[in-house]
Amino acid sequence: MKYIIGNWKMNGNISEKKSLFSALAKVKTRNKIVICLPFTLLNGENYGITIGAQDISNHENGAYTGDISATMLTASGVKYVIIGHSERRKNHNETNEIVKDKAEIAIKHKITPVICVGETAKEKDSGKTKSVIKKMLMQSIPDSGKYIIAYEPRWAIGSGKTPTMDEIANAIKTIYENLPTPVPILYGGSVNKDNAHDIISVPHIDGLLIGGASLKSKTFIPIIKSIE
């Protein structure tokens, strides 16, 4: 079984959710499909599709305006949550330590965290990809519990650029060799129907984290079918 996780980011509305989810409900697959929605779309009919969130507070409750707690997510049926996405790290200054705190609180409430790691363009050009990944893993992953790692080269997110298969393989190998215990490893970064099959064939890749292509059935379902 492979994981195919869609990240809607700050996109979508109720009618678009209904359109995709009703189409996905008709797709037969042996893989695990998860759609990580904006908070406003977590409730309502999910057509049997597993839902995830895009962030979680590292606090249980209290005076944290704009934050969403783990209990709020579980009440909405959330089973997975993306943590430490490159856009959160960049735009909201999320540190590895914050990511670890969020992962641990998710696990405490039986939500599986999808912890993102990856290098910037500057770090890549400086030959620091491996050292950056190692540090992020060391400081971001929880001490125990079930979690998933997603490798997303930060320079590829939203750029339309995709690393070579060798670059992906080397980064995934670094993650695999530096995990304390085996956990699923995903790849995310400009995934589409034309490259999904090749990417999923890289050793130790257990699934995909998909951004824009997960918004519409015409772009998402072909990816699902390409890796059956």
Percent of the chain surpassing pLDDT 70: 99
Confidence of residue 145 (pLDDT cuts 50, 70, 90): very high
Query: Would the pLDDT of 128 be above 70?
Result: yes
Q: What is the mean pLDDT of the chain?
A: 96
Asked if residue 158 has pLDDT above 70, the reply is no
Average pLDDT of span 14-23: 98
Average pLDDT over residues 44-59: 97
Average the pLDDT over 186-192 and give the result.
93
Q: What is the mean pLDDT of residues 175-180?
A: 97
Spatial distance between the Cα atoms of 22 and 26, rounded to a whole number of angstroms: 7
The mean per-residue pLDDT over the stretch 149-170 comes to 87
Each domain of the chain, given as residue ranges in start order, spans: 3-226
pLDDT classification of 154: cutoffs 50, 70, 90: confident
Q: Does domain 3-226 have CATH number 3.20.20.70?
A: yes
Active-site hit among 119, 152, 177, 197: 152
Q: Is 60 among the catalytic positions?
A: no
SS (H, E, C) the chain: CCEEEEECCCCCCHHHHHHHHHHHCCCCCCCEEEEECCHHHCCCCCCCCEEEECCCCCCCCCCCCCCCCHHHHHHCCCCEEEECCHHHHHHCCCCHHHHHHHHHHHHHCCCEEEEEECCCHHHHHCCCHHHHHHHHHHHHCCCCCCCEEEECCCCCCCCCCCCCHHHHHHHHHHHHHCCCCCCCEEEECCCCCCCHHHHHCCCCCCEEEECHHHCCHHHHHHHHHHCC
| Contact yes or no for 82/116 (Cβ under 8 A) | yes
pLDDT tens-digit map of 93-118: 999 999 999 999 999 999 999 999 99
Q: Is 45 annotated in the active site?
A: no
pLDDT at residue 131 in the model:
97
What is the per-residue pLDDT for 1? 95
Tell me the average pLDDT across 139-150.
97
Quickly state the pLDDT bin for 44 (edges 50, 70, 90). Answer: very high
Residue 211: pLDDT band by 50, 70, 90 thresholds? very high
Tell me the pLDDT band of 157, cut-offs 50, 70 and 90: confident
- The catalytically annotated residue of 85, 87, 94, 119 is 85
